Structure 1
Amino acid sequence: MAKTTRRTWIPDQHGAWAMLAVPFLAGTLLAPRPGWTHALLFGAWLLGYVAVFHGQQWLRLHARGLRSAGRHVLPALVSGAAFAAVGVPLAVLHPWLVPAALLASPFVLVNTHYARRGRERALVNGLAAVVPACGMLLVAARLGGLGPAGAWPAALACLLYFAGTVPYVKTMIRERNSRAYRTGSVACHAAALVVAVLLSPWLALPFTAYLVRAAVLPGRGLKVPVVGAVEVAGSAALLVSLPLLF
């Protein structure tokens, strides 16, 4: 029963969890004054994701007239209410969180549009999801006393990495036979390496590794859990690097 409940309530988009956690934690670690409000904001951030996920899944299935849409209603309502219970007091304490959330809304609308059409796996949809996730580094940093001027290089490094994972993962799974995707993925990683080195020469280490994996691993028939493990390692390397370098 517990496993069934987890499957029903917890989104199964495994790659999304690293994208939700790494920028936020990096921003918290970069901040000179991390505090208990970071824990509350992190909870609100995860609850908001869960609520939006179930809302979008309901919309996708409902648009096709499928009765299975109903299973997403309760998780969406409960997680949405929990998000409000945590998020509203935070917004009262820190009113600037409201315009920060509004800046993310266009990207959420893009994701909702693709969800309604049943095209969540579209490249543009994946890239749209990356932007507000990496923007949370700026939010977490500011909550701890570090302004955008000091946090943007780390946020850009996150954006470079997670944007690159979108085409790369496709070359490993859904587009494993696409030469165009492989070429595009390698080109994106090469460009990301150049920009990352301009941010910090030490970023050449992880971003070279990201480029190598994008060039070498596709076509080798790796199992999905192995692909996921490689990405966990890549995310961990980024999380360790950013507080040390910025």
Structure 2
Amino acid sequence: MPNQHGAWAMLAVPFLAGTFLGEPRWVHLPLFATWLLGYLAVYHAQQWLRLTRISRNPRAPRRHVRPALCFGAAAAVCGLPVAALHPWLLLAAACAVPFVAVNSLYAYRNRERSLWNGLAAVVPACAMLPVALRLGGGMWASGVAPALACLLYFAGTVPYVKTMIRERNSRAYYRGSVAYHCVALVAAALLDPWLAVPFALYLARAVGLPGRGVRVGVVGAVEVVGSGVLLGVVVGVF
């Protein structure tokens, strides 16, 4: 399984928010399975790309071939019947291709931890909110504001987590993360005043936690709570 544990919240929260903002239907279950299995297939395909280029051991990239094929086949089994019922999902999937291509390019260059690579991954994940909402009978326009709220949060986690782990000694990253969260607080409040409450908390953790030697497990736990709060507030206010 991928070791990028923070990705699971990013995959789940926008989708669940879109599901509950619309009318939850049984068809959401195979679509959610397709979404998660597709992520796993792409992850292993990108690891194959990365290791094919940088590893001297030919067995290293090959170990990702079987998982990529198995997860890809499982995603197709779950997704094709849903796409047959709702062909517009194929267009939605096509819109994600440029972002997957960017992530694949960064993987090939062995720069998966790049800030821009993380931001590119956030966009299609948050775009699943209006997709799930539309599948539940909602309108596309109704999903824009909550998707932007998710985008503001998850985009902020990319520089923030770096200030806690890989870039914990970088003042430039810290200042950039704090500046982003200040802007995000204002933007979120413009979307809905109630969003100022969780985004004020996100700003506080971006200001106060870096440099305090917080363990990685605690960093992850804080983000799980932050993601849960976001889900509750988004579903509540929209």
Q: Same fold (TM over 0.5)?
A: yes
Amino acid at match of 1:189: H
Q: Which runs of 5+ in 2 are unaligned?
A: none
- SS at the partner of 1:36? coil
Tell me what 1:50 maps to: 40
Instruction: Work out the percentage of aligned pairs sharing the same amino acid.
Output: 66
Tell me what 2:17 maps to: 26
CA distance in 2, matches of 1:125, 1:53: 13
Kindly report which structure 2 residues correspond to 1:72-221, keeping only aligned pairs within 5 A, or say none: 72-221=64-213
CA distance in 2, matches of 1:195, 1:73: 42
Give the alignment partner of residue 214 of structure 2, picking from 212, 215, 222: 222
Tell me what 2:6 maps to: 15
Alignment deviations for residues 131-186 of structure 1 (CA, whole Å, 9 cap, x no partner): 00000001000000111211111000000000000000000000000000000000
* Deviation for aligned residue 1:230: 0.5
Which stretch of the first structure deviates more once superposed, 57-66 or 87-96? 57-66
CA distance in 2, matches of 1:224, 1:147: 39
What is the total number of aligned residue pairs between the two structures? 236
* Deviation for aligned residue 1:77: 0.5
Amino acid at match of 2:52: H
Amino acid at match of 2:2: P
Q: Which runs of 5+ in 1 are unaligned?
A: 1-9
CA distance in 1, matches of 2:20, 2:187: 23
TM-score by length of 2: 0.98
CA distance in 2, matches of 1:117, 1:151: 35
CA distance in 2, matches of 1:108, 1:77: 17
Mapped pair 1:35 → 2:25: yes
Tell me what 1:61 maps to: 51
CA distance in 2, matches of 1:63, 1:96: 36
